[in-house]
Structure 1
Amino acid sequence: MGLVVNPRLLDFALLCLIWGATWIGIKAGVESVPPLFFAGTRFVTAGVLLLALASFRGERVNVATEDRLRFLVVSLLMISLCYGPLFWGMRYISSGTAAVLELALTPIALLFFAVLLGDERVAVRHFVAIGLGVAGIALLFGPQALAEAAPAGPGSDRYAVGAFAVASAAFTYGLGSVVARPLLKTYPPFLVAGITTFVGGGALFAYALSFEAGAVRALRGDWGWAAWTGWLFLVLFGSLIGYTLYMRLLRDIGASRAGSYAFVSPVVAVVLGVLVFGETIKPLDIPAVILMLAGAYMAMATPSQAPRSDR
């Protein structure tokens, strides 16, 4: 008798693996390319490819008039208003602090908006899962965040504004994810992913060209092989595959369960750091990994809570 594996669980595992590795591409890119320009070109390119694939698969790239506003709102929330503040805020706070804020708040924001908008019903297991995951993230990134924040002075205005910007990214992403779910009941994930990345990326790209220092000069493309490799990885894997997987999971298992990727992706990042950069595992890393995986397991094991089917 063959082993039967839940296809959604495979999607979730692949999403965690891909998005756990994207930090390498981001790190390689933003060291040489203005970050908003880098993100905007990534999403626009991914959007064009996704829409071309949707057309090739026979999916009509046609949006009903009554859904256009929702598509625009989702595009701005999940792409423009998420990645814009996230990259901007990371200029003023440490990477450790950004990781704690973004990864810990994303599952909380997803659950909050899913319950607020009536897409899911809250259960005790939700809080247990989030508590375990957040505790693991705090153990993994907390000491680094405190150490890196101390010299900058967390009381400074720029530090506070940067931290707020990164935190806001989690909530705009969470709200956008829940608002997107009704679209996924009507349109294929490929199409939803393509439209939102193209529109949201286009807004980022336009903003970068208008206001970001060095963006116009970056149009020449002299980024260096490391930045280009990172950009290609983010386009093909982070957006083309990863974002589509997330949309499919969002449709099939709901926002709060899909968002538990935030508890597994750091584990992948830790493993890749050891394998690729020869980083060492610190004493707190092991219990942190166990807590995050336990939180993800609790979230994924939670039965779907009768999502609304109305539009």
Structure 2
Amino acid sequence: MKRNTAIFLVLCLIWGMTWIGIKAGIATVPPLMFAGTRFAVAGLLILGAARLRGAALPRVAKRNWPRLFFVTLFMIPLCYAPLFWGMRYVDSGTAAVLELSLTPVALLAFALLLGDERYDGQRLFAILLGVVGLGILFGPEAFAGWAHPDEKGRAIQLLAMAAVASAAVIYAWGSVLARPLLEVYSSDFIAGFTTLFGGAFLILVSLVVEPGAAAALTGDWGWQAWAGWLFLVLFGSFIGYTLFMRLLHDIGASRAGAFAFVSPVIAVLLGIFTYGEEVSLIDVTGMAVMLCAAFLALRERKQGERTSLPAQQLVLAPRAH
């Protein structure tokens, strides 16, 4: 458990810092192209590093290809494409409330629906508590953005909010679908495969729908965007995504999803120390509630109690969603 706790905290620290790299990148690079190249290169690095450690690429069984395909599609293209598009039309507070609150809720819901975990009242309470904390921390900004829509009007804003929300739900679905694969294949292989091919798919989509995507391939981004891209490749994906896959395998989707209550706290603290942003008593209250929720979600159950199904049942489960 101590090892998983350390991995969880490192993941939260890394993913709490990724907003800096994303902000620097999408300021000058089409968002889907920026995300696609990040993931594709990270996938190559993950698989290459595994090969250097002596791990051969496994032969994927024919029955597992459909699940691997959908996990790749859900966790990368169908998550990040609507997320980046939606964030163009809603403010950061609204996006944070929608994505970060829905991610752990959806992770638990899919884990229960797909038979990956059993009902746990303590974990459900922790997730609901975390959602309340997110509302306290980001609610005022989200309400301000809703009260004063931009010139594109209420309809486009509603559509953008739906896109951000869908990204969280689709990512959660993909995460739970990945769990049986992680019982058969290494977390490095699953992380490398999904990021490599998911990123390649995003690049293709970007070339079709994003103005300036082809020109962006020349690499004339500016040093700030390149620095952000490099951080996201090495830390956000190469290290962070692999750690998340390991947590999915070891502690289950709903507990791993508690990162959504810790990473925003780190992001807010970074904003304070990096940009001198002010923090109010309400902000502190929201962050404290979210950290309490993460603690409850991760707390070990009494000996003999389990919320995850046995590994054999996961592998042999007849579901092929």
TM over 0.5: yes
Give the Cα separation in 2 of the matches to 1:163 and 1:94. Answer: 10
Residue identity matched to 1:248:
R
1:300 pairs with 298, 306, 312, which one? 298
What's the CA shift for 1:64? 2.3
Q: Which residue of 2 aligns with 1:188?
A: 186
Give the Cα separation in 2 of the matches to 1:101 and 1:143. Answer: 13
What's the CA shift for 1:302? 4.8
Give the Cα separation in 2 of the matches to 1:131 and 1:157. Answer: 29
Q: Which residue of 1 aligns with 2:279?
A: 281
Give the Cα separation in 1 of the matches to 2:74 and 2:126. Answer: 25
What's the CA shift for 1:277? 1.0
| DSSP 3-state at the match of 2:173 | helix
The 5 Å alignment of 1:1-311 reads 6-62=2-58, 63-152=60-149, 156-303=154-301, 304-309=306-311, 310=313, 311=315
Contact 2:11 2:259 in 1 (8 A): yes
Residue identity matched to 1:37:
M
Give the Cα separation in 2 of the matches to 1:209 and 1:222. Answer: 16
Give the Cα separation in 1 of the matches to 2:43 and 2:308. Answer: 31
The percent of aligned pairs where both chains have the same amino acid is: 54
Give the Cα separation in 2 of the matches to 1:122 and 1:201. Answer: 34
Contact 2:252 2:308 in 1 (8 A): no
What's the CA shift for 1:228? 0.4
| DSSP 3-state at the match of 1:156 | helix
Structure 2 unaligned blocks of 5 or more: 316-321
What's the CA shift for 1:155? 7.1
Alignment size in residue pairs: 307
What's the CA shift for 1:217? 0.9
What's the CA shift for 1:286? 0.9
Residue identity matched to 2:138:
F
* Cα displacement string for residues 114-164 of structure 1 (whole angstroms, at most 9, x for unaligned residues): 000000011111221012111111111110111122221697110111000
Give the Cα separation in 2 of the matches to 1:198 and 1:64. Answer: 19
* Cα displacement string for residues 99-124 of structure 1 (whole angstroms, at most 9, x for unaligned residues): 10000000000000000000001111
Give the Cα separation in 1 of the matches to 2:138 and 2:164. Answer: 15
Contact 1:254 1:307 in 2 (8 A): no
Structure 1 unaligned blocks of 5 or more: none
Residue identity matched to 1:24:
I
What's the CA shift for 1:48? 0.5
Give the TM-score normalised by structure 1.
Answer: 0.96
| DSSP 3-state at the match of 1:223 | coil
Residue identity matched to 2:196:
F
Contact 2:11 2:243 in 1 (8 A): yes
Give the Cα separation in 2 of the matches to 1:102 and 1:240. Answer: 22
